[in-house]
Chains A and B, each alone.
Chain A
Amino acid sequence: QKEVEQDPGPLSVPEGAIVSLNCTYSNSAFQYFMWYRQYSRKGPELLMYTYSSGNKEDGRFTAQVDKSSKYISLFIRDSQPSDSATYLCAMISNTGNQFYFGTGTSLTVIP
């Protein structure tokens, strides 16, 4: 079983839709949770960063962490064509010595 599971998609939504992206994990040592956005042929860029459980909001983006279910989500409100990219979740243990990325979900927002 992989440390981090993420549905690769592809996911296609109309402009303005609410997008929900998810990852599950098996290692209870993970404490830091991140979402990266990667445009085609570019390096990943950090979108959201949360520690432990709870919600974090930044503009149209909301990250949720449910440690009891080992489940994290990224919501994108009022999705735009410019949101079309691959979204990768990543997780780090409290000691920092375990660091894993999900395989990424490919998202296309259709104008």
Chain B
Amino acid sequence: DTAVSQTPKYLVTQMGNDKSIKCEQNLGHDTMYWYKQDSKKFLKIMFSYNNKELIINETVPNRFSPKSPDKAHLNLHINSLELGDSAVYFCASSQDPQGSHTDTQYFGPGTRLTVL
């Protein structure tokens, strides 16, 4: 069984479109995260969710919005896509109830987003 899964694996879209990436974890973890990894492999946290509350919201554009229908899911919605949004987006989860990053994080396989 896959611990953290993401769909789709690849996403190619036009500038200006709105898209969503889904993430699910079956580990029973309390906190889920979204990361962006750029072409130079730099991995940057975007935000995390704990018990349906946004804990950390890094300085990402408000075109990006996390949506958590339940503890096992954290979806990423992106509005008005721009060329610079092209990257690999990783979802992760951890048992850490405080969302302080000190517990082990388990990553999904990533979604490669290409904006044309």
Contacts and interface: CB of A to CB of B under 8 A. Distances in A.
Given A43-B92, A43-B110, A103 B40 contact: yes
A45 interface: yes
Contact of B109 (A43, A97, A101, A106): A43
Nearest to A31: B102
Scoring B100, B102, B108 by chain A CB atoms within 10 A of each residue's CB, the highest score goes to: B102
Nearest to A44: B107
B38 to A, nearest CB: 9
Contact of A101 (B42, B56, B112): B42
Contacts of B90: 43-44
A46 B41 contact: no
Interface residues of B, number: 24
Contact of B100 (A41, A45, A97): A97
Given A88-B43, A101-B42, A46 B105 contact: yes
Interface in A32-52: 32, 38, 41-46, 49
Interface string B86-116: 0000101000101111101111111010000
A96 interface: yes
Interface in A8-47: 8, 32, 38, 41-46
Interface of A: 8, 32, 38, 41-46, 49, 86, 88, 92, 95-97, 99, 101, 103-104, 106
Q: Which 5 A-B pairs have the closest CB atoms?
A: A96-B100, A43-B107, A101-B43, A104-B41, A99-B101
23 contacts: A8-B41, A38-B41, A41-B110, A42-B109, A42-B110, A43-B4, A43-B90, A43-B110, A44-B43, A44-B90, A45-B107, A86-B41, A88-B41, A88-B43, A92-B102, A96-B99, A96-B100, A96-B101, A97-B56, A101-B43, A103-B40, A104-B42, A104-B43
